Amino acid sequence: MQDNRQQITLVSPEATSALARRLAPLLEAGDCLLLEGPIGAGKSHFARALITARLAAQGRSEDVPSPTFTLVQTYDDGISEIWHADLYRLNGPADIDELGLWEAFDSAICLVEWPDRLGTHAPPKALTLSLTATGKAGERHAIFTFSADAWQERLSAIGAPDDG
């Protein structure tokens, strides 16, 4: 396997949400999306939009708060369980044992903010999304990185970015 990259420039928060909505139906149980970037890069915004889209596709609606203080929020979209984890407040992999995240990697769709806290324990077939500001108001670069070949085909299905 080789590392692959795909970069998209997102011109606004609405474009970030639109990307999340396009990716949402392509995820399935056992998929892990690692969300990287500095504070304020849009990781939680992206995760909330993706979760909201998956719930809405099944006629469901829930409040989708950031798991900054709860560490993990779980959702059931009727097809798969979704785990949204924010590991910012953790020191490393030893702190993750009690969250049940290791088991969720096999059975749920997992969205993990601050995946560096996983150390070397990140799922090898995970899709990584790095978000960084460009310097223009609301604009950011989104860089998908993956080593599992299956992501190439799925990412080609999300199409070109738009504003919402």
Question: Which tens digit of pLDDT belongs to each residue from 63-90?
Answer: 887 887 789 999 999 999 999 999 998 8
The predicted model gives 85-111 an average pLDDT of 89
User: Nearest 5°: CA angle at 87, between 131 and 10?
Assistant: 15
Question: Would you say 33 and 127 are in contact if contact means Cβ atoms under 8 Å apart?
Answer: yes
> Does 6 map to a domain?
no
- Report if residue 1 sits inside a domain: no
Mean pLDDT of all residues in 25-41: 96
Number of structural domains, the chain?
Answer: 1
Give a yes or no: residue 46 inside a domain.
Answer: yes
Over range 82-107, report the average pLDDT.
89
Give the predicted TM-score (pTM) of the model. 0.91
What is residue 161's predicted lDDT score, i.e. its pLDDT?
Answer: 55
Mean pLDDT computed over 92-98: 80
pLDDT for residue 164: 47
Which residues have a Cβ under 8 Å from the Cβ of 31 and sit 6 or more positions away? 109, 110, 126, 127
CATH number at residue 121: 3.40.50.300
Q: What is the pLDDT of residues 123-148, one digit of tens each?
A: 999 999 999 999 899 899 999 999 88
Residue 21 in domain: yes
For the chain, the farthest-separated pair of C-alpha atoms sits apart, in whole angstroms, at 40
4 falls within a domain: no
Between 1 and 53, name the one with better pLDDT.
53
Average pLDDT, the chain: 90
137 located within any domain = yes
In which band, very low, low, confident or very high, does the pLDDT at 97 lie, cut at 50, 70 and 90?
A: confident
- At residue 131, the pLDDT reads 97
Compute the average pLDDT of residues 22-27. 96
Q: How much is the pLDDT for 1?
A: 44
What percentage of the chain carries pLDDT values higher than 70? 95
Q: Residue 3: inside a domain, yes or no?
A: no
Grouping H, G, I as helix, E, B as strand and the rest as coil, residue 150 is helix
Domain assignment present for residue 69? The answer is yes
Cβ-contact 114, 71 below 8 angstroms: no
DSSP H or E stretch at residue 56: helix 43-57
Identify the domain containing residue 33 by its residue range.
11-141+148-156
Instruction: With beta carbons less than 8 A apart as the criterion, state whether 32 and 4 touch.
Output: no
Question: What's the gap between Cα 136 and its chain centre?
Answer: 23
